[in-house]
């Protein structure tokens, strides 16, 4: 009898537990849609495409250092000023650290903090081999602008400028000052460009209302159990570090190998790094992301996320295997990318080296990740970091008016899409601007297929012209919502 009572008690407790889980999920409601008077303008997509094509034709490949000849960036800036004459006629131009540039369009209300739109002038190199067209030809065909930088990120720069040019053409006058801040070395961490721009503005006592840069994305929500498109705003970005693993052993001829070789020990160390991944955990941006998306998910996902605090021990490892994207959201990733041994196939090298590329999660650091790797591989492997390592950025405010206006703008231009914050898993110039504002956001206002996304930094990079026009609508509306 006592056993039956215990059994019924356990069953009742379990039933109550399930009821609580389900109730918490049912209480998640979609927020009400905001009223909006937004009516999209007619954008001359062909004209904007021609402007982008002209920008692509100027070979603004990232300089190896700031002492190299960067006169091509002056040519590029002259092109922008010719292409957007109304902006050029009212903007104050400032060159920073030789090749970076600020275009300041002054507003009428000095009580409003300025806004900053970021973009980088530089592009990665492009070997013509394998391309369907000249990578710097700016060819327009089949609804696309082809060429290096057409996506990353001259399209966003051209759309941002075109949006303001249209408003100026209509006779609109900005109340809020608008800064276009264009670095020239984002592909090499932005040390000479964005960093120096932010320091220059700081030296002038400038504070900003918000910063918008590339980074957030639009994706299909089915991955997360949502039957809709999702527009993600990057509120932070991961840190970055390249760790060099080095093993030193006696070298010699491969015909008489020692019991342990430098290459063998290096291979073992790399295997251990891959096997012993860093722990997954909930960060502020991942919590905010899933909290914003949960009301739109199918019931299974909603049930899990409404009870994240209870089901976390199950959810964290599950999200790490659902997809590479969700894995990146939950932990620091460690990717072996390079290995080096002897220069000839029949030689035992005295030193073997390998590289681990780390994208460091919010809450961890370059130092703590190195300590993890050292613990995993043991003391016989020497670990150093390459220059350019940087800790994760701060997390931007999602309760600010600036975030609300950005979210509203995205919802208007990309009608019906679900907007949410998220941790940007790559790098951008935006990380250098937290000294000027807490409202640093990353959003790329172009829908793109997986195929086209994979063309960035690769062969046949191209920008969809229809999406270019929609991106122009986005910036135009952003200025209306925040600067007029």
Residues 49, 143 within the same domain: yes
Q: Is residue 374 part of a domain?
A: yes
Residues 80, 167 within the same domain: yes
Q: Does an H or E element contain 140, and which?
A: strand 140-141
Q: Write down which residue in 330, 354, 385 finishes a domain.
A: 385
- Give the phi and the psi of residue 135 in degrees, each rounded to 5: -60, -20
Whether residue 16 has pLDDT greater than 80: no
Query: Which percentage of the chain shows pLDDT scores above 70?
Result: 98
Q: What is the mean pLDDT of residues 167-196?
A: 97
CA-based nearest residue to 433, from 240, 231, 124, 183:
183
Q: What is the pLDDT of residue 8?
A: 65
Residues 196, 249 within the same domain: no
186 counts as catalytic? yes
- Which member of 186, 214, 391, 429 is catalytic? 186
Cβ neighbours of residue 272 closer than 8 Å, sequence gap 6 or more:
376, 377
Q: Give the bridge partners for 420, in sequence order.
A: 232
Residues 256, 329 within the same domain: yes
**Is residue 265 classed as helix, strand or coil in its secondary structure?**
helix
CA-based nearest residue to 232, from 410, 409, 392, 400:
410
For residue range 422-451, what is the model confidence (pLDDT) as tens digits? 999 888 999 999 999 999 999 999 998 889
Spatial contact of 387 and 300, defined as CB atoms under 8 Å apart: no
CA distance 146 to 130: 14
Q: Is residue 149 part of a domain?
A: yes
Spatial contact of 158 and 51, defined as CB atoms under 8 Å apart: yes
Q: Write down which residue in 332, 361, 385 finishes a domain.
A: 385
- Which member of 122, 213, 214, 288 is catalytic? 122
- Whole-model pTM: value is 0.92
Q: What is the mean pLDDT of residues 168-189?
A: 97
Spatial contact of 444 and 214, defined as CB atoms under 8 Å apart: yes
In the DSSP assignment, the letter for residue 194 is H
Q: Is residue 316 part of a domain?
A: yes
Domain of residue 62, residue span? 45-215+426-482
Residues 186, 331 within the same domain: no
Q: What is the pLDDT of residue 229?
A: 93
Lowest pLDDT segment from 24-28, 200-204, 410-414, 478-482: 24-28
Residues 31, 395, 99, 93, Cα dihedral to 10°: 50
For residue range 91-149, what is the model confidence (pLDDT) as tens digits? 999 999 999 999 999 999 999 999 999 999 999 999 999 999 999 999 999 999 999 99
Residues 133, 252 within the same domain: no
CATH number at residue 350: 3.30.70.360
Residues 357, 263 within the same domain: yes
Which CA distances in Å does 102 have to 95, 121, 202, 273?
7, 12, 13, 43
CA 93 from chain center: how many Å?
27
Q: Is residue 391 part of a domain?
A: no
Q: What is the pLDDT of residue 195?
A: 97
> For the chain, what is the domain count?
2
| pLDDT-based confidence at residue 413 (cuts at 50, 70, 90) | very high
Q: What is the pLDDT of residue 1?
A: 63
Provide the token pair at 383.
């670990």
Q: Is residue 134 part of a domain?
A: yes
Residues 140, 203 within the same domain: yes
Q: What is the mean pLDDT of residues 356-362?
A: 96
CA distance 371 to 365: 10
CA distance 137 to 178: 31
Query: Which percentage of the chain shows pLDDT scores above 90?
Result: 77
| pLDDT-based confidence at residue 399 (cuts at 50, 70, 90) | very high
Q: What is the pLDDT of residue 5?
A: 73
CATH number at residue 63: 3.40.630.10
Whether residue 193 has pLDDT greater than 80: yes
In DSSP notation, 95-136 reads EETTTEEEEEE--S-TTSPPEEEEEE--B----STT-SS-TT
For residue range 34-83, what is the model confidence (pLDDT) as tens digits? 778 899 989 999 999 999 999 999 999 999 999 999 999 999 999 999 99
CA-based nearest residue to 263, from 346, 334, 353, 345:
353
Residues 250, 203 within the same domain: no
Q: What is the pLDDT of residue 22?
A: 78
Task: Please report where in the chains the tokens 């609300």 appear, as a residue.
Answer: 404
Residues 171, 311 within the same domain: no
Q: Write down which residue in 353, 368, 385 finishes a domain.
A: 385
Q: Is residue 137 part of a domain?
A: yes
Q: Which residue has the higher pLDDT, 81 or 13?
A: 81
CA distance 468 to 366: 37
| pLDDT-based confidence at residue 166 (cuts at 50, 70, 90) | very high
Residues 71, 209 within the same domain: yes
Q: Is residue 5 part of a domain?
A: no
Q: What is the mean pLDDT of residues 165-182?
A: 98
Provide the token pair at 74.
């002056």
Residues 260, 190 within the same domain: no
For residue range 304-342, what is the model confidence (pLDDT) as tens digits? 888 888 888 888 888 888 888 889 999 999 999 999 999
196 counts as catalytic? no
Q: Strand runs (DSSP E) across 295-371, as ranges?
A: 333-340, 347-348, 351-360
| pLDDT-based confidence at residue 14 (cuts at 50, 70, 90) | confident
CA distance 116 to 87: 15
Q: Is residue 359 part of a domain?
A: yes
Q: What is the mean pLDDT of residues 262-276?
A: 96
Whether residue 3 has pLDDT greater than 70: no
Spatial contact of 193 and 184, defined as CB atoms under 8 Å apart: yes
Q: What is the pLDDT of residue 31?
A: 83
Q: What is the pLDDT of residue 11?
A: 73
Spatial contact of 444 and 157, defined as CB atoms under 8 Å apart: no
């Amino acid at each position: 009898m006592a056993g039956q009572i215990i059994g019924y008690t356990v069953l009742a407790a379990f039933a109550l537990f399930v009821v609580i889980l389900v109730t918490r999920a049912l209480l998640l409601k979609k927020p009400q849609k905001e009223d909006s008077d937004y009516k999209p303008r007619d954008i001359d997509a062909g004209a904007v495409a021609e402007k982008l094509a002209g920008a692509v034709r100027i070979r603004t490949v990232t300089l190896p250092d700031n002492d190299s000849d960067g006169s091509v960036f002056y040519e590029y800036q002259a092109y922008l000023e010719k292409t957007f004459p109304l902006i050029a006629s009212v903007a104050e131009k400032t060159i920073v650290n030789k090749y970076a540039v600020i275009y300041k369009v002054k507003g009428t209300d000095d009580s409003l903090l300025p806004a900053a739109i970021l973009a980088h002038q530089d592009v990665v190199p492009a070997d013509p081999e394998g391309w369907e067209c000249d990578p710097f030809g700016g060819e327009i065909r089949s609804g696309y602008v082809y060429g290096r930088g057409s996506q990353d990120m001259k399209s966003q720069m051209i759309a941002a400028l075109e949006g303001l040019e249209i408003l100026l053409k209509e006779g609109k006058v900005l109340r809020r000052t608008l800064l276009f801040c264009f670095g020239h070395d984002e592909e090499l961490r932005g040390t000479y460009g964005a960093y120096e721009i932010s320091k220059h503005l700081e030296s002038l006592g400038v504070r900003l209302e918000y910063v918008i840069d590339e980074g957030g994305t639009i994706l299909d929500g089915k991955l997360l159990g949502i039957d809709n498109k999702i527009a993600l705003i990057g509120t932070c970005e991961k840190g970055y570090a390249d760790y060099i693993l080095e093993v030193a052993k006696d070298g010699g001829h491969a015909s008489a190998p020692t019991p342990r070789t430098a290459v063998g020990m290096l291979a073992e160390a790399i295997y251990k790094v891959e096997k012993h991944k860093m722990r997954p955990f909930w960060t502020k941006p991942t919590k905010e992301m899933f909290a914003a998306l949960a009301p739109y998910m199918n019931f299974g996902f909603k049930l899990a996320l409404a009870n994240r605090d209870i089901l976390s021990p199950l959810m964290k490892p599950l999200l790490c295997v659902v997809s590479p994207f969700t894995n990146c959201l939950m932990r620091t990733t460690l990717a072996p990318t390079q290995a080096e041994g002897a220069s000839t196939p029949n030689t035992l090298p005295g030193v073997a080296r390998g590289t681990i590329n780390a994208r460091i999660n919010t809450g961890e650091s370059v130092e703590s990740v190195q300590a993890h790797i050292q613990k995993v591989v043991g003391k016989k492997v020497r670990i150093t970091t390459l220059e350019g390592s940087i800790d994760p950025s701060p997390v931007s405010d999602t309760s600010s008016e600036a975030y609300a206006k950005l979210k509203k703008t995205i919802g208007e231009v990309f009608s019906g899409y679900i907007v949410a914050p998220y941790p940007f898993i790559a790098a951008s110039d935006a990380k250098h601007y937290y000294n000027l504002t807490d409202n640093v956001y990353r959003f790329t206002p172009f829908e793109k297929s997986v195929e086209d996304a994979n063309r960035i930094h690769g062969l046949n990079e191209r920008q969809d012209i229809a999406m270019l026009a929609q991106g122009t609508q986005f910036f135009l509306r952003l200025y209306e919502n925040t600067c007029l």
